[in-house]
Amino acid sequence: MQPTIYTIAEQAGVSIATVSRALNNGPRISEATRARILKIATDLGYQPSAAARGLALKTTETLALIFPQVSGPYFSELIGGAEGVARQQNYHLLVYSLQTNKPNDPFLHLLPARTDGLILSNQHIGEEYIHHLHQRSFPFVLMGREVAGLKLDTVRPDNEGGAYQLTRHLIEVHGCQRIAFVCGSEDNLHTQERLAGYNRALQASGLPAWVEPSIRGDFSEAGGYARMQRILTWAEQPQAVFAASDQMAVGVLAAITQAGLHVPEDIAVVGFDDIPSAAYLQPALTTVNQAIFEQGALATEHLLQRINWPDMAPRSVVWPTRLIIRRSCGCGNP
């Protein structure tokens, strides 16, 4: 059997209240007994029961991160950022990949019973649920989205701005006129915002949009590959392709190369995310950095602050994006 505070109390010849005080740096306890108790506790290898503590304190010291799917470099970065901050503050991190399309998955409703706060990075979670959490004033932060009419803690990348800059770069520096945009999944907010930035840049220069939509698409390499193959059948070839994510850009590069064409000579390619391998692709990928790891860390910090200070004003941060110019757009080696 695991030792409990009773075990310790017995060995120390004190009451469990005193043990509790010693363990929690409570006030009104002599240094001598505190030291004695602490020693016994470590000797016994005592570990407090999370359940009992949670029950008494109404706290779980646990956070949950909910996202669409783990595969791919995006979410591993996100988890990494969140986990680091959580642990540093003695919190634990539960992860859930929720691929459901049910906007109000019953599963979601059991989370508040196990956690002190949520990081929601899933776009298909219904607003109904968000409102529900908000009304209960259960701590959470939203990633990559906002909810109309609600002042919430959110963290999201400047998708529109990043896509705008990148598209302008293609137009102004490289003189591209025909730029194709390869969607991730079409109902994805990130895709839509990036598409909006792309459109704004084109309109500013009076150029037409060329969008390859994705009916049941995703952000994978395979998705990028398949869509680029379709683009290659177009009557008029684009001079540049803007993939909605780096992961898709990897597939786009593969399709172009396999068709016997060269990047960037025949077609320029750019992506979005700046995943770790982007710099090492052939050619190195021009993209937009959005510091996913840092966003995950920041979201977690804000969540922890929300938990500790429930009345703090909500903060909505738009993480600035940064153009990363490499070779795939046609620029020389930076």
Helices (H), 58-185: 73-88, 127-135, 159-172
Applying CB under 8 A, which of residues 5, 22, 41, 60 lies at the interface with a second copy?
60
99 binds DNA (CB under 7 A): no
Task: Please give the structure tokens belonging to residue 100.
Answer: 């459901």
Phi-psi region of 128 (alpha: psi -120 to 50; beta: other; left: phi over 0): alpha
Contact in structure between 4 and 51 (CB atoms under 8 Å): no
92 binds a second copy (CB under 8 A): yes
What's the rounded Cα separation, in Å, for the pair 329 and 243?
12
Q: Which residues contact 106 (CB under 8 A, 6 or more apart)?
A: none
Decide whether 105 or 186 has the Cβ nearer to a second copy. Answer: 105
Contact in structure between 143 and 121 (CB atoms under 8 Å): yes
| Longest CA pairwise span in the chain (Å) | 88
141 binds, among a second copy, DNA, none (CB under 5 to 8 A by kind): none
Applying CB under 7 A, which of residues 10, 11, 15, 158 lies at the interface with DNA?
15
Distances (CA, A) of 58 to 19, 52, 118, 176: 20, 10, 16, 59
Applying CB under 8 A, which of residues 142, 143, 180, 253 lies at the interface with a second copy?
253
For β-strands 287-289 and 240-243, DSSP reports them as unpaired
**What are the backbone dihedrals phi and psi of residue 44, each rounded to the nearest 5 degrees, phi first?**
-80, -15
83 binds, among DNA, a second copy, none (CB under 5 to 8 A by kind): a second copy
Applying CB under 7 A, which of residues 35, 39, 43, 55 lies at the interface with DNA?
55
Q: Min. distance of Cβ 23 from a second copy in angstroms? A: 13
Q: Min. distance of Cβ 97 from a second copy in angstroms? A: 6
4 binds a second copy (CB under 8 A): no
308 binds DNA (CB under 7 A): no
Applying CB under 7 A, which of residues 10, 33, 201, 215 lies at the interface with DNA?
33
Strand partners, 117: 63
Applying CB under 8 A, which of residues 11, 20, 33, 62 lies at the interface with a second copy?
62
29 binds DNA (CB under 7 A): yes
Q: Min. distance of Cβ 3 from DNA in angstroms? A: 8
Q: Min. distance of Cβ 286 from a second copy in angstroms? A: 15
What's the rounded Cα separation, in Å, for the pair 130 and 45?
42
Q: Min. distance of Cβ 181 from a second copy in angstroms? A: 20
Strand partners, 323: 288
Which residues inside 254-273 make contact with a second copy, applying CB under 8 A?
A: 254, 257
13 binds DNA (CB under 7 A): yes
For β-strands 140-143 and 154-157, DSSP reports them as parallel
Contact in structure between 332 and 264 (CB atoms under 8 Å): no
58 binds DNA (CB under 7 A): yes
Decide whether 225 or 319 has the Cβ nearer to a second copy. Answer: 225
100 binds, among a second copy, DNA, none (CB under 5 to 8 A by kind): none
Decide whether 21 or 156 has the Cβ nearer to DNA. Answer: 21
Strands (E), 158-215: 179-182, 210-212
Q: Contact positions toward DNA, by CB under 7 A?
A: 1-2, 4-6, 13-18, 20-21, 23-24, 26, 28-30, 32-34, 46, 48-49, 52-53, 55-58
